[in-house]
Amino acid sequence: MRTQVGIVGAGPAGLLLSQLLHRDGIDSVVLESRSRAYVEGRIRAGVIEHGAAQTLIEAGAGARMQREGMIHQGFEIAFAGARHRIDLHGLTGRDIWVYGQHEVVKDLIAARLEMGGQILFEAEAGAIEGIEGDRPAIRFGADDKDQVLDCDFVAGCDGFHGIARPAIPASRLSVFERDYPFAWLGILADAKPASHELVYARHDRGFALFSMRSPEITRLYVQCPPDDDINEWSDARIWDELHVRLEQGTGFRVKEGPILQKGITGMRSFVAAPMRFGRLFLAGDAAHIVPPTGAKGMNLAIADIRVLARALVTFYREGRTDLLDAYSETCLKRVWLAQRFSWWMTSMLHRFPGNDPFQEKVQDAELDFVTRFEEGARSLAENYVGLPYDRV
């Protein structure tokens, strides 16, 4: 099998790349180890930056988001018994979309298949070869057969646990990482959202987040120890923590409903650099992970793909390699700005085990600065809606 760009992974990164390349007449094949039902049902974050939403619309995959997604013009932060609104629209002139990542994946898959795009599900890439030459190949298994996809370029969009990043010699890769001493327990509940906007809460018992997926479905998170077993968290215990941490006597009432799904996710910050080695380009979670506070994961993946698609299109149209050569450096600027923001928001809102009183006072001051000073609020808001692509 042969194509121009071989893509490993049908998450938002791989699917969007395939879609953007198609619109410029470049052929690609997406290999995905899981089934279509699995990737379409995988629940993840749900905040889409203004620019990322525009990108999906321009890619021809934004129509359902525009119909069913929810535009949010602000969010709230609850701490010390009071709620404070961050007026995203007023501070930046831009809004965000609340729309589940798995819905984005469904829309991209539908758009790809409608245009005759090739996505091979249950096709697991085992090796990426020849990336230092100009004829790389991906070995994969599908239909119980070993197969080979020959290509001009390989896009490693296979997430944190994929095979693309390890295909780069370890001696050529620098890794920067930080683990956090807590995790998020997330639930999806069949309950109408109790507020129109998201609420991020800092409380002595730990962080909590109120979010939503639709006018009928609430998404909620509580901070928990990273090694907690989900079976230790009865529904009643989860709701108790959500009420205490989110409500704080502010008048906000979390509405309960049947829990449709629950799970615990660890948190880390991770960057591998460079994001390109020879003809292999890493994008999205394959190259970097952010903690979920601030919801930058999918937005960063989309930003990488904008850069990669443009670089590949310029190569095929004009024979120029300068944008491909600049890919890693270009992406890493935004990646580090998003890392800084996600680390900062995580540090400001969570309870760190050990209870360092100095750190807690600094957290109080951070929250005071972003809620009482417009300069602080504006910095938070600009990062939250997404720094403009033309500057990073």
**Catalytic residue annotation:** 72, 200, 292, 296, 384
Question: Nearest approach, Cβ of 129 to ligand PHB (angstroms)?
Answer: 37
If one asks whether residue 338 binds ligand APR (CB under 6 A), the answer comes out as no
Query: Which of 7, 21, 39, 131 lies at the binding interface for ligand APR (CB under 6 A)?
Result: 39
Query: Which of 18, 211, 299, 328 lies at the binding interface for ligand PHB (CB under 6 A)?
Result: 211
Question: Nearest approach, Cβ of 259 to ligand APR (angstroms)?
Answer: 22
If one asks whether residue 5 binds ligand APR (CB under 6 A), the answer comes out as no
- Give the DSSP H/E element, type plus range, for residue 178: strand 174-189
List binders of ligand PHB among 264-293 (CB under 6 A): 292-293
Strands 145-150 and 137-142: antiparallel
Cα distance between residue 132 and residue 122, in whole Å: 27
Q: Which stretch binds ligand APR (CB under 6 A): 2-10, 53-61, 178-186, 266-274?
A: 2-10
Q: Report what 363 binds from ligand PHB, ligand APR, none; CB cut-off 5-8 Å by kind.
A: none
Residue 222: both structure tokens together: 């509580």
Residue type, 268: R
If one asks whether residue 162 binds ligand PHB (CB under 6 A), the answer comes out as no
Query: Which of 5, 45, 108, 120 lies at the binding interface for ligand PHB (CB under 6 A)?
Result: 45
Closest CA to 271 of 353, 143, 177, 367: 177
If one asks whether residue 33 binds ligand APR (CB under 6 A), the answer comes out as yes
Cα distance between residue 352 and residue 242, in whole Å: 18
Cα distance between residue 305 and residue 353, in whole Å: 37
**Residue whose CB is less far from ligand PHB, 330 or 346:** 346
**Residue 15, φ and ψ in degrees, nearest 5:** -70, -40
Cα distance between residue 147 and residue 149, in whole Å: 7
Rounded (5°) CA angle 352-358-359: 35
Residues 213, 184 contacting (CB under 8 angstroms): no
Question: Nearest approach, Cβ of 28 to ligand PHB (angstroms)?
Answer: 29
If one asks whether residue 47 binds ligand PHB (CB under 6 A), the answer comes out as yes
Say how many C-beta atoms besides its own lie within 10 A of residue 194's C-beta.
16
**Residue whose CB is less far from ligand PHB, 19 or 211:** 211
If one asks whether residue 328 binds ligand PHB (CB under 6 A), the answer comes out as no
| Strand ranges across the sheet with 47-48 | 47-48, 96-98, 70-72
Closest CA to 31 of 121, 142, 151: 121
Cα distance between residue 156 and residue 284, in whole Å: 9
Query: Which of 284, 294, 339, 351 lies at the binding interface for ligand PHB (CB under 6 A)?
Result: 294
Q: Which stretch binds ligand APR (CB under 6 A): 27-35, 148-156, 182-190, 265-273?
A: 27-35
Q: Report what 47 binds from ligand APR, ligand PHB, none; CB cut-off 5-8 Å by kind.
A: ligand PHB
Residue 146: both structure tokens together: 């070993």
> Which residues form the interface with ligand APR (CB under 6 A)?
8-14, 31-34, 39, 44-45, 101, 124-125, 157-159, 162-163, 284-285, 297-298, 301
> Which residues form the interface with ligand PHB (CB under 6 A)?
45-47, 198, 209, 211, 219, 292-295
